[in-house]
C-alpha cells in the first residue's frame, strides 16, 4: 500500500483497518499467489515495485515459519483453526501426542506468528 495513492481506494473494496495486531501480511506482498487478496491493491505487479534491496520475505518464507506451518498442517494434533499454536502444542503435549519440543521453544522464544495461517481468514 505504499505505492497506491489515496484515491485508488475509491475503486477497490475497502479492507477493515487493523484486523490483527500481529501484522500478519507484509505490506509489500511478495507474490500474488501467496497473498489472500481481499480487494487487494495489486495495481502494480511486485516485479515492478522497487524495493531498494531484497524483498522482505521473512514473514512468509522464513524457515521457522515453514516448520510451524508443518506443525499446523499435521493432522495428528487436530485442527489448527480457532486455537493459537501454543495452545495447540500444549493440548497435544497434555494428551500424550508427544509433539516435537522445538516447536515449543520456537513459539515461546522468537518472533514467530502465534496463530496459524488460516486464523482470521476462514
Partner 1 sequence: MEVDSQEQLQRKQSTYLSLDENFEIQKEVYRGQQYSQIYFARLHMMRTLLYSLVPNWKSHLPVCTVLELEEGKECIIVGTLYKHMKLKPCILDEYSKERSVAPLIKPHNFMHQDDYLVLEDESGRVKLGGTKLSPSVYVTGVVVALHGKETSAGAFFVEDVLEAGLPPQIERPLKSREDKYVVFVSGLSIGSSSSNPLQFQLLVDHITGHLGDEEEQGLAAEIVHLVIVGNSVEISHGLLNGQNLASKDQSRLSEPFKELDILLTQIAASLPLDIMPGSSDPANFALPQQPLNRCLFPGSATYNTFRSCTNPHCFELDSIRFLGTSGQNIDDLTKYSEAKDKLDFLERTLRWRHLAPTAPNTLGCYPFTDRDPFLIDSCPDVYFVGNQEKYETRLLKGLEGQLVRLICIPRFCETGVAVVLNMRNLECHALTFGTQISS
Minimum gap (Å) between residue 95 Cβ and partner 1: 6
Q: Which is nearer to partner 1, 3 or 70 (CB)?
A: 70
Minimum gap (Å) between residue 14 Cβ and partner 1: 22
Task: List residues near partner 1 by CB under 8 A.
Answer: 75-76, 78-79, 81-84, 87, 90-91, 94-97
10 Å Cβ neighbour count for 49?
13
Nearest to 72 by CA among 56, 85, 91: 85
Q: Judging by beta carbons within 10 Å of its beta carbon (0-12, 13-18, 19+), is residue 76 exposed, middle or buried?
A: exposed
Integer Cα distance of 99 and 54 in angstroms: 35
Minimum gap (Å) between residue 6 Cβ and partner 1: 32
- DSSP letters for 55-81: ---HHHH-HHHHHHHHHHH-GGG---T
Minimum gap (Å) between residue 35 Cβ and partner 1: 22
Amino acid at each position: 500500500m505504499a505505492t497506491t495513492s489515496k484515491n485508488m481506494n475509491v475503486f477497490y473494496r475497502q479492507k477493515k483497518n487493523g484486523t490483527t495486531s500481529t501484522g500478519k501480511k507484509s505490506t509489500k506482498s511478495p507474490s500474488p499467489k501467496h497473498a489472500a487478496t481481499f480487494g487487494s491493491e495489486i495495481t502494480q505487479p511486485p516485479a515492478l515495485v522497487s524495493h531498494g534491496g531484497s524483498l522482505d520475505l521473512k514473514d512468509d518464507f522464513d524457515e521457522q515459519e515453514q516448520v510451524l506451518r508443518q506443525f499446523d498442517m499435521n493432522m495428528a494434533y487436530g485442527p489448527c483453526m480457532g486455537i493459537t499454536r501454543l495452545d495447540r502444542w500444549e493440548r497435544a503435549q497434555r494428551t500424550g501426542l508427544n509433539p516435537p519440543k522445538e516447536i515449543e521453544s520456537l513459539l515461546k522464544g522468537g518472533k514467530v506468528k502465534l496463530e496459524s495461517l488460516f486464523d482470521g481468514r476462514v
